[in-house]
Amino acid sequence: MAALTYFLVIPFIYLLSLLPFPVLYLFSNFVYAVLYYIIGYRKKVVLENLRNSFPEKSEAEIKRICKAYYHYLCDLFLETFKTLTISKEAMIRHCSFAPGTMELFERFEKENKSAILVLGHYGNWEWAGNTFSLLCKHQLYVIYHPIGNKFFDDLMFKMRTRFGTKLITMKNTFREMLANRNELSMTAFIADQTPSSQNAYWTKFLNQDTPVFRGTEIIAKKLDSPVVYITINKIKRGYYQMQAEVLCEHPAGTADGVISELHTRRLEKDIIACPEIWLWSHRRWKHKKPVT
């Protein structure tokens, strides 16, 4: 059944990816109307997350952000499919580097230094990986969770690796990074996943007790790899700009929790500045902090 669904859907997905951007966004407007007003996809989760994160905001403001988020989510969904057929030139045009970002990566290249990239589900993170692989000399590795449906997992794998990015499954992260330690590379961690509550680093994030995946910090300290935070700002519809900022040059000497706090606080700052382009339908706070 899954295979049949895939072979019925895949031609439609390719057709969507071939649409010119103005037509693609007209279709996105239609999908938004269906998703928000008719289906109400995870609307209760989104509103609860927004209210808990911004208790100071009025209900009218919460609903405004909620609507803006669903517009962004529909655009993001279709932009991801666009990766199947978009040209290299168009990819770089639609997701560019902010001033100083290329210079930072070139400095690491001259120093023959690999690094760890941390980012959240903020802006178009899929396009950011494509642009990095097209413009930078470092080999980009992205840590990911395979999708349960093998056919759609293969499709996402194809989209994510089309421009040279390589993927590492989360369970193999440290082993693969050790194997690649003599290669000039950048390894990207999505920092706002939901880890097991027992093994997580707990902190306050957006006004709530939040578990943070410890692996990013542990690996950065073991390898003493610089930690670079990536922001992906939305400039206008269909256009994003990636900005890189060094959080810590030498993690090995830092105290427990420092790296986790640095990238969590930086992501929080971005979300507060532009809340509608973060993944609010993700069940980020489904775990409660263990009682000690």
Domain span holding position 22: 2-277
Phi, psi of 282 (to 5 degrees): -75, 135
Position 153 scores a pLDDT of 84
Residue 262 lies in a domain: yes
Position 6 scores a pLDDT of 62
Position 165: which residue type? T
pLDDT < 50 positions in the chain: none
Phi, psi of 286 (to 5 degrees): -80, -15
Position 196 scores a pLDDT of 78
pLDDT tens per residue across span 88-137? 999 999 999 999 999 999 999 999 999 999 999 999 999 999 999 999 99
- The pTM (predicted TM-score) of the whole model is 0.93
Q: How many domains in the chain? A: 1
Query: Which residue's entry shows tokens 């263990």?
Result: 290
Residue 107 lies in a domain: yes
What is the CB-side half-sphere exposure of residue 249 using CA atoms within 13 A? 4
Residue 109 lies in a domain: yes
pLDDT tens per residue across span 19-28? 999 999 999 9
Reference 244, options 188, 282, 182; nearest CA is: 188
Residue 264 lies in a domain: yes
Residue 27 lies in a domain: yes
Residue 103 lies in a domain: yes
Query: Which residue's entry shows tokens 């980012």?
Result: 119
Distance CA(229)–CA(186), nearest Å, equals: 12
Residue 285 lies in a domain: no
Position 289 scores a pLDDT of 85
Residue 79 lies in a domain: yes
